[in-house]
Amino acid sequence: MISVSEALDHLFALARPLDVEEVPLREAGGRVLARPVAARRDQPPFAASAMDGYGVAEAAPGLKFTVIGEAAAGRAFHGQVGRGEAVRIFTGAPVPEGVKTVVIQEDVTRDGEVITITDRLGEGDNIRPYGNDFRAGLTLDAPRLLGAQDIALLAAMNIARVPVTRRPKVALISTGDELVMPGEDPGPDQIIASNTFGLYVLLQQLGAEPRLLPIARDNEASLRAIFGMVGDADLVVTIGGASVGDHDLVARVAEGMGLERAFHKVAMRPGKPLMSGRFGEAMMVGLPGNPVSAMVCGHVFLAPVIRAMLGLDAAAAPRETLRLAAPVGENGPREHYMRARVTPEGVSIFDRQDSALLSVLGAADALAVRPPRDPARAAGEEIEVIRL
């Protein structure tokens, strides 16, 4: 069995980078910027007032001015402002020629067209200089996962269409005679396909485009038929049928259809029967069927693979080092990803870790990672966690 980090190395080698597409700005949130983009203008494109008030050449308590016009956002005052003159000005307005400072209206008394600066004149000129935020050519570097604030910046840069990495198309195949879809009536020996839907949402959240294929039954003909439906998927993910049982046919059938397997079985818990390889034009990852095993493999393997396909760093799921809230016993020979909660007292690992228990996963907000053969640990000792 290979280690988790060896498995990740294999997976990164199997993943192919995707091409670039242009999308409208509003659709670029959550996508990965594929090429650097440069600002197409200076911002602000003129010196702008930062406040509502009066623009003057020089301000001091007691000085009087005659108001000769008005400058508002989107409506400049085009004349020259001389000594003894003021322009009524509003936030965002271009600062007229001759104005050196904006006195906020709270620091002024007005009588008809004449204003007088009171004796509590505030500090600063209240003017945002030309190009103060950025200049044309300012570059947003790629690759970069675009958040809401990046979209605001790109808009200000006047970028209406954004080059992003195409979303990886992922075909999700559940396998098993026992599975029915949520909402259906299960027979007495059937259960509901669950991790399929968890993985679907995880993939969506990662920026992939998942597609649910019909459930493949535990026979070669059914598996072959469903594999025949993967189309132009970049990644084929199977769930279940990965182990050694008589009905675990996934690897055999996929190999019959051209899978070049890179590995099968990883020294981890849960998730041991993981496999992967190239499957025609696609990459294939076979996940174990146990609901928690599949979800843990989603976080530990699928998430880094999707990020790599999107052009982000090929890196394992980020870990943090925190302190244990309670002692934990020694670990076995496999790297153990234990459902846990991060509390103010530290990392609290759940007692029940069976890989069928989705209720325990639902209560968890982190996976505590124990190295193989990690000795028993006391409360307060450090432990690495992956946040869920």
Ligand X SMILES: Nc1nc2c(c(=O)[nH]1)N[C@H]1C(S)=C(S)[C@@H](COP(=O)(O)OP(=O)(O)OC[C@H]3O[C@@H](n4cnc5c(N)ncnc54)[C@H](O)[C@@H]3O)O[C@H]1N2
Residues that bind ligand MOO (CB under 6 A): 269-272, 288, 290, 293, 355
368 binds ligand X (CB under 6 A): no
Mapped onto helix, strand or coil, the DSSP state of residue 367 is: strand
Binding partner at 179 among ligand MOO, ligand X, none, C-beta below 5 to 8 Å by kind: ligand X
By CB under 6 A, tell whether 241 contacts ligand X. Answer: yes
Give the amino acid at 314: A
Shortest gap between Cβ of 265 and ligand X (angstroms)? 8
Query: Out of ligand X, ligand MOO, none, which partner does residue 101 contact, by CB within 5 to 8 A per kind?
Result: none
**Which residues have a Cβ under 8 Å from the Cβ of 109 and sit 6 or more positions away?**
115, 116, 118
Binding-site partner at residue 195 among ligand X, ligand MOO, none, CB < 5 to 8 Å by type: ligand X
Cβ proximity to ligand MOO, 65 vs 337, nearer residue: 337
Cα-Cα-Cα-Cα torsion 205, 207, 208, 210, nearest 10 degrees, comes to: 30
User: Binding of ligand X at residue 275 (CB under 6 A)?
Assistant: no
Shortest distance, CB of residue 375 to ligand X, whole angstroms? 23
Nearer Cβ to ligand X, position 272 or 339?
A: 272
Under 8 Å between Cβ of 230 and 213: yes
Asked if 252 contacts 175 with a C-beta cutoff of 8 angstroms, the reply is no
Closest separation in Å from C-beta 329 to ligand MOO: 17
Number of amino acids touching ligand X (CB under 6 A): 26
Give min distance, CB of 272 to ligand MOO, in A: 3
Residues 6+ apart with CB under 8 A from 149: none
- Give 43 or 290: the residue with its C-beta nearer to ligand MOO: 290
- The one among 101, 222, 243, 348 contacting ligand X by CB under 6 A: 243
Residue 241 binds which entry of ligand X, ligand MOO, none, with Cβ cut-offs from 5 to 8 Å by kind? Answer: ligand X
End-to-end CA distance of the chain: 26
CB of 288 to ligand X, least distance (A): 3
Q: 53-87 burial by CB neighbour count: b if 16+ within 10 A, else e?
A: bbbbeebeeebebebbeebbeeeebeeebeeebbb
CA atoms within 13 A on the CB side of 176: 25
Q: Rounded to the nearest whole angstrom, what is the least distance from the CB of residue 356 to ligand MOO in the complex?
A: 8
User: What is d(CA 283, CA 234) in angstroms, rounded to the nearest whole number?
Assistant: 6
Pick from 128, 166, 169, 272: which binds ligand X (CB under 6 A)? 272
Between CA 5 and CA 263 the distance in angstroms is 13
Part in contact with ligand X (CB under 6 A); list of ranges 131-139, 156-164, 285-293, 339-347: 285-293
Stretch near ligand X under the rule CB under 6 A, chosen from 17-25, 130-138, 142-150, 235-243: 235-243
Strand partners, 2: 266
The torsion angle over the Cα atoms of residues 210, 214, 217 and 223, rounded to 10 degrees, is -70
Q: Name the residue nearer to ligand X (CB basis): 43 or 355.
A: 355
Query: Residue 260 and residue 284: Cα distance in Å, rounded?
Result: 9
Q: Is the preceding omega at residue 375 within 30 degrees of 0, hence cis? A: no
Per CB under 6 A, contacts with ligand X among 139-198 are 174, 176, 178-179, 191, 193-196
CB-based closest residue to ligand X? 289
Binders of ligand X among residues 99 to 118 (CB under 6 A) are: none
Q: For the CB of residue 247, give the shortest distance to ligand MOO in the complex, in Å.
A: 16
Contact 338, 349 (CB under 8 A): yes
Which of 240, 277, 298, 311 touches ligand X by CB under 6 A? 240
Q: How many CB atoms lie within 10 A of CB 316?
A: 16
- Residue 137 per-residue DSSP state: T
Site map for ligand X, 193-222, x if CB under 6 A?
xxxx--------------------------
Q: Which residues bind ligand X (CB under 6 A)?
A: 174, 176, 178-179, 191, 193-196, 239-245, 248, 270, 272-273, 288-291, 293, 355
